[in-house]
Chains A and B, each alone.
Chain A
Amino acid sequence: MQKDPALYTKKIRSFYHKSRRMPSFAELADLFGFQSKNASAKLVKKLVETRILKQNNRGFLIPGPLLRGLKLLGTVEAGFPTPAEEELVDTLTLDDYLISRPDSTFLIKVSGESMIDAGIMPGDLVLMERGREPRTGDIVIAQVDQGWTMKYYEKQGCAIRLISGNKKYPPIIPKEELRVAGVVVSVVRKYV
């Protein structure tokens, strides 16, 4: 299927990012659409040869020296450089950091001031995760009685209140309908 070793590396790396451990042979087969674990074993052999993966004495996979993304500089103590790679520190891109589920994330440009005390200003971009189940304290994008709004979500028993991050606006208690489109996961503001 995928011939490019870089693609394999990328997928294994992102698995490692997400689950904080290396995949099993069965999970490798899942990851690359192999029909059997035998195919995974063949791939592992190749990747071990190219030092992308290592195997411990029980055959489990551990990251090889060439699997990592960018290396962090080690801290220097008393003249002995400690290579950060020994710590297995990995790097995240800003994308990974701001977005947890890339398939369901949408951009919204903010124009109002209803979340100004939460630090969300007019002109900011918020990233909304569509279809995520809201919990008390989350900032949600919701449709209430015909209008769209961005508010803190608060649920006590069956009663739901939407509280704005601006003292000027009173809390909203939905009268007819409430539809939560998604949960705000991050805010982006770019200056230059």
Chain B
Amino acid sequence: MTSLYIFHIDADAFFASCEQAMHPELEGRAVITGAERGIVSSASYEAKSQGVSRGTPLWEVTHIIPSACVVASDYESYGIFSQRMFSILRRYISLIEEYSIDEAFGVIPFRTLLEEAQLEVFAKRIQDCIHRELGISVSIGIGKTKVLAKIGSKYKKPNGITVVHDSVVPYILPRISVGDLWGIGSATQKQLSEYGIHTAWDFYCMDELAVARWFTRPILDVWCELHSKSCIPMQPTSSHVRHSIQKVRTFSPPSNDRKYVFSQVMYNLENSCIKARRYSLFAKRIGVYLRTKEYRSVWKDIKLTHPSAFPTQIVRFVSSLFDDMYDPREYYRSTGIVLDDLVDGTRLQASLFESHENRGRMRSLFCAIDALDRKFGKHTVLTGASLPVRIQGTHRGVRNVRSDRFTHRLTGETDRQHLKIPFFFINI
């Protein structure tokens, strides 16, 4: 009999673990990343056990754990660790879905029931290999479906392995809040609690027809997956097609300076256009997003008159959206840009209202700007509107902290281009 098993591999306190793997003197210590943002972006288990979690302001951390080691994020190295982790996983499991920077799903066909006993041994081997070669720990959940596998990886952490067999479902589910299930958001959780559904077990015991009648399809899928019926397919990452590009940035402290907030929007616009041009993509729609200090979000989008990846062309659309949305009484904490309906820029036809000559000039202008950026670093040339970001910075009041990888420049490395190998920082 052939039955499929889904593995969910989730790195433990990923960013903080990477720091500990690169800086052996940090092993066993409370490590916090996010020094450049003013809030905790990842906390090692040593720090978590003392009550620090993601989002805690750093001044609070120094009160709770005076000896904590707070470092600036080094996303470049974290990205390499992530790729290496997926590459190690592919040695063991051929079908891998890279679900996020620090977690993946994998599918294993087991041909006999006898081999079920070996699931844990197999998972242990993967876990050991990642730990030996990368120096980070992962937790692994195994189940018949993605939802069950995800329950498993969360159940014992860090460095845990949990097989969610049908027989253990009645013991595990009552201990899990229904809101902690993968795919159940806070709105659904609220709705469920009105029906008296609080734990995952309550949800499991609901009647399928009732779930189907009262909730949307994705919620029914979660219910089915809890009952070992696989509904959420694997999405192998290699066939990934880009449909939109988003850039969102948070700044601190929140601001009500219209010029500054707009410059943050523009900075995101320039960033997303750089990315679009790198893949020769042009956007047909543009969206602007603003978020206030109280975490209220406003969002608007508009169709462009012709596809573009040039901020100087798109700015008038962005600025009219911004004028509609901006409220001078509010303080804003983050802004974002979405380039949507992307099309292949190499095969575009000139539109009626855009002269050929104009677009040719725009192309050669930005070709030159991209070349300068490659040579001297990103944002060497930027629009005047995003200048306030450059002058005032994004996180005021926080010291301009940089990761060790950024300050350890090797001969031949530039600001933008580093060797794709992480450091092991020791003194020898």
Interface residues of B in 360-411 (CB under 8 A from A): 408, 410-411
A169 interface residue per 8 A CB criterion: no
**Residues of chain B lying within 8 A (CB to CB) of residue A112:** 427-428
Name the one of B24, B411, B412, B424 contacting A107, with C-beta atoms under 8 angstroms.
B424
Name the one of A30, A107, A128 contacting B94, with C-beta atoms under 8 angstroms.
A30
B312 interface residue per 8 A CB criterion: no
Interface residues of B in 104-142 (CB under 8 A from A): 132-135
> Known contacts A33-B95, A106-B421, A130-B135; is A149 also within 8 Å of B236 by CB?
no
Interface residues of B in 20-75 (CB under 8 A from A): 22, 24
- Is A103 within 8 A of B87, CB to CB? yes
B216 interface residue per 8 A CB criterion: no
When C-beta atoms are compared, the residue in chain A nearest to B83 turns out to be A103
Query: Closest CB of chain A to B30's CB: distance in Å?
Result: 20
A178 interface residue per 8 A CB criterion: no
CA distance A162 to B134 in the complex (A): 24
Query: Closest CB of chain B to A151's CB: distance in Å?
Result: 9
Interchain residue pairs with CB less than 8 A apart (21): A3-B239, A7-B238, A33-B94, A99-B421, A104-B133, A104-B134, A105-B421, A106-B422, A106-B424, A107-B424, A108-B426, A112-B427, A112-B428, A131-B133, A141-B424, A148-B24, A148-B427, A148-B428, A182-B424, A190-B410, A190-B411
Query: Closest CB of chain B to A93's CB: distance in Å?
Result: 13
B84 interface residue per 8 A CB criterion: yes
B169 interface residue per 8 A CB criterion: no
- Is A107 within 8 A of B422, CB to CB? yes
Name the one of A101, A141, A148 contacting B133, with C-beta atoms under 8 angstroms.
A101
Main secondary structure of the interface of A (DSSP, over half): mixed
Most buried by B among A1, A30, A191, A192: A1
- Is B135 within 8 A of A1, CB to CB? no
CA distance A7 to B423 in the complex (A): 28
Query: Closest CB of chain A to B380's CB: distance in Å?
Result: 24
Q: Which range holds the interface residue count of chain B?
A: 20 to 34
Q: List residues of chain B with CB under 8 Å of any chain A CB.
A: 22, 24, 84, 87-88, 94-95, 132-135, 236, 238-239, 408, 410-412, 419, 421-424, 426-428
A9 interface residue per 8 A CB criterion: no
A166 interface residue per 8 A CB criterion: no
Interface residues of A in 20-75 (CB under 8 A from B): 30, 33
CA distance A105 to B81 in the complex (A): 11
Query: Closest CB of chain B to A184's CB: distance in Å?
Result: 10
Interface size of A by Cβ–Cβ distance < 8 Å?
Answer: 35
Number of A-B contacts (CB under 8 A): 76
Query: Closest CB of chain A to B105's CB: distance in Å?
Result: 13
> Known contacts A2-B238, A103-B134; is A150 also within 8 Å of B428 by CB?
yes
Query: Closest CB of chain B to A134's CB: distance in Å?
Result: 13
CA distance A106 to B411 in the complex (A): 17
- Is A181 within 8 A of B95, CB to CB? no
Q: List residues of chain A with CB under 8 Å of any chain B CB.
A: 1-3, 7, 30, 33, 99, 101-112, 114, 125, 127-128, 130-131, 141, 143, 148-150, 181-182, 190-192
- Is A108 within 8 A of B423, CB to CB? yes
CA distance A111 to B425 in the complex (A): 11
Q: Which 7 pairs, one residue from A and one from B, show the smallest C-beta to C-beta distance?
A: A104-B133, A131-B132, A33-B94, A106-B424, A148-B426, A150-B428, A103-B84
CA distance A41 to B254 in the complex (A): 59
- Is A1 within 8 A of B426, CB to CB? no
**Residues of chain A lying within 8 A (CB to CB) of residue B238:** 1-2, 7
When C-beta atoms are compared, the residue in chain B nearest to A131 turns out to be B132
- Is A109 within 8 A of B423, CB to CB? yes
**Residues of chain B lying within 8 A (CB to CB) of residue A141:** 424, 426, 428
**Residues of chain A lying within 8 A (CB to CB) of residue B94:** 30, 33
> Known contacts A33-B94, A127-B421, A130-B134; is A149 also within 8 Å of B428 by CB?
yes
> Known contacts A1-B236, A114-B428, A130-B132; is A125 also within 8 Å of B24 by CB?
no
Name the one of B134, B239, B424 contacting A181, with C-beta atoms under 8 angstroms.
B424
CA distance A99 to B419 in the complex (A): 13
Query: Closest CB of chain A to B32's CB: distance in Å?
Result: 23
